[in-house]
Amino acid sequence: MPTYKAPLRDIRFVMNELLNFNGHYAALPNGEEAIEVVDAILEEGAKFAENVLTPLNQIGDQQGCTLKDGKVITPEGFKEAYQQYVDGGWPSMTQNPEYGGQGLPHSLGLTLNEMICSSNLAWGMYPGLSHGAMSALEHHGTEELKQTYLTKLVEGRWTGTMCLTEPHCGTDLGLIKTKALPQEDGSFKVTGTKIFISAGEHELSENIVHLVLAKLPDAPEGSKGISLFVIPKFMPDAQGEAGERNAVSCGSLEHKMGIHGNSTCVMNFDNATGFMVGQPNKGLAAMFTMMNAARIGVGIQGQGLIEVSFQNALAYARDRLQMRALSGAKAPEKAADPIIVHPDVRRMLLTQKAFSEGGRALILYTAQLIDLVEAGSDEQKKEADEILGLLTPIVKAFLTEVGFEATNEGLQVFGGHGFIQEWGMEQFVRDARITRLYEGTTGIQALDLLGRKVLMNQGETLRKFTKQIHKYCQAAEAKEGMSQFTQPLAELNKEWGELTMKIGMSAMQNRDEVGAASVDYLMYAGYVLLGYFWAQMAEIAQQKLAEGTNEAAFYQAKLDTAVFYFKRLLPRTKTHATAMTAGVDSLARMDADAFGLGFEI
Amino acid sequence: MPTYKAPLRDIRFVMNELLNFNGHYAALPNGEEAIEVVDAILEEGAKFAENVLTPLNQIGDQQGCTLKDGKVITPEGFKEAYQQYVDGGWPSMTQNPEYGGQGLPHSLGLTLNEMICSSNLAWGMYPGLSHGAMSALEHHGTEELKQTYLTKLVEGRWTGTMCLTEPHCGTDLGLIKTKALPQEDGSFKVTGTKIFISAGEHELSENIVHLVLAKLPDAPEGSKGISLFVIPKFMPDAQGEAGERNAVSCGSLEHKMGIHGNSTCVMNFDNATGFMVGQPNKGLAAMFTMMNAARIGVGIQGQGLIEVSFQNALAYARDRLQMRALSGAKAPEKAADPIIVHPDVRRMLLTQKAFSEGGRALILYTAQLIDLVEAGSDEQKKEADEILGLLTPIVKAFLTEVGFEATNEGLQVFGGHGFIQEWGMEQFVRDARITRLYEGTTGIQALDLLGRKVLMNQGETLRKFTKQIHKYCQAAEAKEGMSQFTQPLAELNKEWGELTMKIGMSAMQNRDEVGAASVDYLMYAGYVLLGYFWAQMAEIAQQKLAEGTNEAAFYQAKLDTAVFYFKRLLPRTKTHATAMTAGVDSLARMDADAFGLGFEI
């Protein structure tokens, strides 16, 4: 069975040494308490992830969920773990004190998230979906809705879902058919079928609060005619507790490649009673509040899975004896050398390590932006929101793409054993596979990045951000040992702008150039971003080593990983740069009818 | 449920137009008949794959195999399909007439293999493993062993296995512990445990012939002390039929990520009676006869899975309506455009198409070399064997690496639906995952290529092959429309030699440089190879289009795919070239104890 140990030393390195979280918290209105509790939260979170969630991960995969008489039975131990989570006060940690929350900054929740995703992704989705629901209610709900639903979600006694997708549409929500009929009492009767509803039905919580996209009878066509509704599984009774059953039910469970422990439901709304959240026909905007947080959350899933896969691959690589190093025996007293001596095994392990630790830095940087958007000054909010918008699709898609690659490297380290379920490495791969798909596929994130976040304002936001990287390179390049990082980074950072300009120009001729370039563009951006953080981490490590430290091995490993990243992973930008500027012609020229002539004639 | 249609048009394009199989067959001693029957074989094979195997593929995945009272129950329909396969005379097609075979060239078997791998990989492994066993017996067995075992394998009434791996060793077979004690009658008593034995136990055939690696009591240490034995499940009786049970049994079945329909067995040999194949302590050499054929077979698995994933992704992309093309509606009469209008969806489909069709060309080229090794003149044998040795690890590892990528692209085209088992796309991914592992992982293939096949003879074999590519480029460059292909190909072909030289020089200083470069080297080689075939296919297509043809759409699509390959996939060589020459230092510098300090402190 795979093991997991929360990487507290590295989380603290990123928080304290790279990103100065104490300073960040000190400047936030809700930050003072965070400084006091951060250590306790990390340590308690680690215990919960290691001792409660990790042992349930493989069980969850093997047992999956079953639907019986309309009820979903979750895997053994999932309900008890959820109760411990509620008892520990975790659901309320970063929520608004007005509704029962502890008011701590969101970034603290994200550090916990990594540990949950590493230890048990399928379980983590039950409380995880509540966050989106809370966020939408907090920002768009009436005071009455907040008192009725948000307070219960904050307590954790109720959980939430996001109901967007329908059988015929996922990406293209303008096509949804679910209807909401206004009632005289101000409520709505909602009818329709939603699919792929994570945590749509289960008995971990007393009630489930569905946030549902539907159309009013007079709604305009397309995405401008979508409204958002809150639809509880049980109607609140006079005391505000779960009362009578609402007309919403789970029609079936999907059989999936992974995340078996989470119930992925077909949800039927059959004249179910709901209440509008936000304004009529403005549901998509309200939904995006949920979606953006969820997208960062999915990026964390990618990174968290790399971390746990890495930990287990590393243990195996140190233990498994097979062949001798080509350069001569390294453990002559043993029957063979441990496979960690082989350069290609190291390549796989270092790929995992570089993506996990680099991804962590990127995520916690983003977490600070989220804190500022939530609680900063108006000017901070505006600035942070802009950069956060730029980085969100990269965090989501880049970290899940490399997450899938890196969990596969972890499996590969095990050789044939990696394919066997018992070892648990293939579960990480199967679980990771969904992250490239849900909350918007990589292709959709890439269009969001290049089309909306970059080109729509003529690259202005991107310029702000690349300027920050440029300034960093200028400031750091003269420091001892830093030019090996700052020089390639500065070049790529400059090239990033040039590539953007080039694609922007072609896109003025043909909008399809955006789609032709977008995924390579996003991956390129991700590699440069991680290079930015790896350069900074290398700088800190070199400084510590120069000063003298009793943790020299830790800092040396950090520096070595940075060198590996720049030598072996960052050069992938070359291929992406070439591919993204290859133009749409080679994609567009083939007639749709001609693709299959090799087997259709 | 996924569908499959044998790509006969494209197979014929490769056989007749690209590789002149008629000419190739005409020059082989066993080739005349092949010319006559090739069409019938392709068509009958297609029917069997489409109508018998395809409908069983998902059933096999869902039901898997179960072990009950020592017997393995295979999925519904598998046994009947095997009987049909035997009745159709397929097992004997390419086998030696002296032992009941039809004596047709091996290449014909490989064209059938693609269809079997596309339609039902797990099923295909039952007859597939027999090929290795037949090959080892044919080349290394005594006449008595051939008469007793080979004839039954050729008939298909018995099937074979390869028993190499043990719990503590897979790659490093020198460590095996299975013992073979010589008996007075010339037989051996074999005791030991073998794992990961595909098709190790089942009731599809009347008997199972295990080819087992074991050590004699006085065997030298390591890989020089391995012998090969044939150990039947049932001892042949006086009539040569399956008689008394031998002391070999299936201890348990592995639970795996994919290929559920194939029984992956732990096999226990408990003083089982066996007979030596080949010379004492020379078993590894005899085993390599099986391994090399098996490695090409695994490459075909990778390509076959791309093909079927492509076919289904294409159908979905034409059918699924979602969003409008960025450049304006393409199907304004519909609620949205079919997703095949989106450039990024086309990128994924074309990636699949380019790898499947390019891979097919590479495989069938290799198939001709196999024919020559088997039946050519002495000089042809020698030459073909040398090039085949060079290409085998590339066929195996490159086609399975891109096979995994491309089946994942197929899944991705389906969005969230790709993750749902019902659609079948995720099964292709799970099934494809094993191909990167078994018969030697990608890392092992890469060491074989760079260390053994290229550097061990100072690049001489490679030079022969790159010279062939060079000559092709020179001959083709002046032709209309060809310089877009020959120019980049010639450059990369030249660079291939330079990179080899560079790595060879570093490896003289430090042998670990080979392991540091090897996987990127192999992938680079694979892209260049496919470029060589895509250039040739583009040339044929352009010629046909210039001449005028009533299949203009087919040839135009072929040309368009070549353009796509050169624009979007071949540039990946840039990254591989940089990574392979980055040196071992960035992999070697980290102390093995320091990798995990982020979570171990």
Going from N- to C-terminal start, the domains of chain A cover 455-588
Query: Has residue B30 got a pLDDT over 90?
Result: no
Q: Using CA atoms, how far apart are residues B129 and A58, in angstroms rounded to an integer?
A: 32
Give the A window 414-453 contacts with B, CB below 8 Å.
415-416, 418-422, 426, 429-430, 433-434, 436-438, 441-443, 446-447, 451
The pLDDT of B85-100, averaged and rounded, is: 97
Give the A window 247-286 contacts with B, CB below 8 Å.
254-258
Quote the longest CA-to-CA distance of chain B: 83
Closest CA to A453 of A356, A385, A555, A512: A385
Q: To 10 degrees, what angle do helices A512-547 and B343-375 make? A: 80
A270 vs chain B: nearest CA distance in angstroms? 24
CB B115 within 8 A of CB B52: no
Give the B window 343-382 contacts with A, CB below 8 Å.
343-347, 349-350, 353, 357
DSSP codes of every residue in B96-155: -GGGT-----HHHHHHHHHHHHHH-HHHHHHHHHHHHHHHHHHHH--HHHIIIIIHHHHH
For residue A170, give the DSSP letter: S
Q: Which residue of A has its CA nearest to B451?
A: A326
pLDDT tens-digit profile of A168-187? Answer: 999 899 999 999 999 999 99
CB A349 within 8 A of CB B522: no
Quote the pLDDT of residue A332: 96
B203 vs chain A: nearest CA distance in angstroms? 23
Nearest to A257 among B426, B510, B590 (CB): B426
φ/ψ (deg, to 5) at A434: -70, -25
Q: Does A5 touch chain B (CB under 8 A)?
A: yes
The pLDDT of A287-294, averaged and rounded, is: 81
The pLDDT of A367-388, averaged and rounded, is: 95
The verdict on a CB contact (< 8 Å) between B595 and A353 is yes
The pLDDT of B55-83, averaged and rounded, is: 98
The pLDDT of B568-586, averaged and rounded, is: 97
Given pLDDT bands bounded at 50, 70 and 90, which one contains residue A290? confident
Q: Which residues contact B289 (CB under 8 A, 6 or more apart)?
A: B135, B136, B139, B140
Closest CA to B301 of B517, B508, B131: B131
B154 vs chain A: nearest CA distance in angstroms? 29
Mean pLDDT for all residues in chain B: 97
Quote the pLDDT of residue A496: 98
- Which residues of B are known to be catalytic? 439
Q: Does A514 touch chain B (CB under 8 A)?
A: yes
pLDDT tens-digit profile of B353-383? Answer: 999 999 999 999 999 999 999 999 999 999 9
Interface probe for B, chosen from A169, A257, A441 (most Cβ of B below 10 Å), is A257
Q: What Å distances lie between residue B223 and A304, B176, B219, B228, CA to CA? A: 41, 9, 10, 12
CB B577 within 8 A of CB B524: yes
Give the B window 463-492 contacts with A, CB below 8 Å.
none
pLDDT tens-digit profile of A515-574? Answer: 999 999 999 999 999 999 999 999 999 999 999 999 999 999 999 999 999 999 999 999
The verdict on a CB contact (< 8 Å) between A5 and B408 is no
Query: Has residue A288 got a pLDDT over 90?
Result: no
The verdict on a CB contact (< 8 Å) between A553 and B593 is yes
Q: Which residue of A has its CA nearest to B436?
A: A412
Q: Does B59 touch chain A (CB under 8 A)?
A: no
Query: What residues of A are in contact with residue B485 (Cβ under 8 Å)?
Result: none
The verdict on a CB contact (< 8 Å) between B255 and A422 is yes
Q: Which residue of A has its CA nearest to B584?
A: A343
Interface probe for B, chosen from A65, A164, A195, A327 (most Cβ of B below 10 Å), is A327
Q: Does A591 touch chain B (CB under 8 A)?
A: yes
The verdict on a CB contact (< 8 Å) between A579 and B568 is yes
Q: Using CA atoms, how far apart are residues A62 and A361, in angstroms rounded to an integer?
A: 33
Quote the pLDDT of residue A404: 98
A251 vs chain B: nearest CA distance in angstroms? 16
Quote the pLDDT of residue A44: 98
The verdict on a CB contact (< 8 Å) between B553 and A594 is yes
What share of chain A in percent tops pLDDT 70? 100
Query: Has residue B289 got a pLDDT over 90?
Result: no
The verdict on a CB contact (< 8 Å) between A171 and B338 is no
Nearest to A10 among B175, B579, B598 (CB): B598
A186 vs chain B: nearest CA distance in angstroms? 32
Q: Are strands A248-253 and A264-277 parallel, antiparallel or unpaired?
A: antiparallel
Q: Which residue of B has its CA nearest to A330?
A: B592
Give the B window 329-348 contacts with A, CB below 8 Å.
335-336, 338, 340-347
Q: Which of A19-28, A35-44, A251-260, B286-295 has the lowest mean pLDDT?
A: B286-295
Given pLDDT bands bounded at 50, 70 and 90, which one contains residue B291? confident
Mean pLDDT for all residues in chain A: 97
Nearest to B255 among A170, A350, A420 (CB): A420
Quote the pLDDT of residue B429: 98
The pLDDT of A429-450, averaged and rounded, is: 97
Nearest to B9 among A515, A574, A599 (CB): A599
The pLDDT of B108-121, averaged and rounded, is: 97
pLDDT tens-digit profile of B481-495? Answer: 999 999 999 999 999
Query: Has residue A289 got a pLDDT over 80?
Result: no
Q: How far is CA B387 from the centre of its chain?
A: 17
Query: Has residue B293 got a pLDDT over 90?
Result: no
Q: What Å distances lie between residue A536 and B160, B225, B355, CA to CA? A: 57, 53, 39
Interface probe for B, chosen from A50, A506, A595, A601 (most Cβ of B below 10 Å), is A595
Quote the pLDDT of residue A314: 98
The verdict on a CB contact (< 8 Å) between B556 and A594 is yes
pLDDT tens-digit profile of A317-361? Answer: 999 999 999 999 999 999 999 999 999 999 999 999 999 999 999
Nearest to B591 among A553, A568, A600 (CB): A553
Give the pair of three-digit tokens for residue B192: 């030991």
pLDDT tens-digit profile of B380-407? Answer: 999 999 999 999 999 999 999 999 999 9
Quote the pLDDT of residue A9: 98
Quote the pLDDT of residue B234: 98
Q: Using CA atoms, how far apart are residues B569 and B559, in angstroms rounded to an integer?
A: 15
Quote the pLDDT of residue B362: 98
Q: How far is CA A574 from the centre of its chain?
A: 26
The verdict on a CB contact (< 8 Å) between A349 and B171 is no
The verdict on a CB contact (< 8 Å) between B601 and A426 is no
- Which residues of A are known to be catalytic? 439
Quote the pLDDT of residue A596: 97
The pLDDT of A458-483, averaged and rounded, is: 97
Q: Using CA atoms, how far apart are residues A287 and A294, in angstroms rounded to an integer?
A: 10
Given pLDDT bands bounded at 50, 70 and 90, which one contains residue B285? confident
Q: Which residue of A has its CA nearest to B428?
A: A257
Query: What residues of A are in contact with residue B450 (Cβ under 8 Å)?
Result: none
Quote the pLDDT of residue A286: 83
The verdict on a CB contact (< 8 Å) between A596 and B314 is yes
Q: Which residues contact B57 (CB under 8 A, 6 or more apart)?
A: B2, B119, B120, B121, B122, B123, B261, B424, B427
pLDDT tens-digit profile of B306-361? Answer: 999 999 999 999 999 999 999 999 999 999 999 999 999 999 999 999 999 999 99
The verdict on a CB contact (< 8 Å) between A592 and B256 is no
Give the A window 150-209 contacts with B, CB below 8 Å.
165, 168-172, 175, 196
Quote the pLDDT of residue B292: 82
The pLDDT of A269-283, averaged and rounded, is: 97
Q: Does A510 touch chain B (CB under 8 A)?
A: yes
Q: Which residues contact A461 (CB under 8 A, 6 or more apart)?
A: A386, A387, A389, A390, A453, A454
Q: Does B540 touch chain A (CB under 8 A)?
A: no
Task: Look up the ipTM and state it.
Answer: 0.97
pLDDT tens-digit profile of B144-181? Answer: 999 999 999 999 999 999 999 999 999 899 999 999 99
What share of chain B in percent tops pLDDT 70? 100
Given pLDDT bands bounded at 50, 70 and 90, which one contains residue B221? very high
Query: What residues of B are in contact with residue A430 (Cβ under 8 Å)?
Result: 257, 430
Quote the pLDDT of residue A287: 83
